[in-house]
Amino acid sequence: MYHDIAHDFPELQQALKALKTSDEQFKGMFEKYEAISNGLRQAQAGAGVMSEQYASAMRQQRHALKTDLFLMLKMKQATDAACRRKVFAGQ
């Protein structure tokens, strides 16, 4: 089954919301990830036709995007945490 990013990484919800609205590169990668996931979901449900070779290539591309998105989310989370520590340390 193909889950969305929010389902796979619930602990990164804040970073996901922030990056989807503030980072065009992230937004584009996220939209591509979602489009690939939707296509794979439809093919798996029998609603679309997709060769196994094409599906395999799409799964690989989806995995690479998921990895990149995860890293971007973790960096955002870490950066936000560091900023909060600086703010609290300065008070």
Please write the tens of the pLDDT for every residue from 15-42: 999 999 999 999 999 999 999 999 999 9
Contact 78, 60 (CB under 8 A): no
Question: What band does 88 get if pLDDT is binned at 50, 70 and 90?
Answer: low
- For the stretch 67-80, pLDDT in tens is 999 999 999 999 98
**Tokens in use for 52?**
């196994």
Question: What band does 90 get if pLDDT is binned at 50, 70 and 90?
Answer: low
The per-residue pLDDT for 3 is: 75
**Confidence (pTM):** 0.86
User: Is it the case that residue 86 has pLDDT exceeding 90?
Assistant: no
End-to-end CA distance of the chain: 47
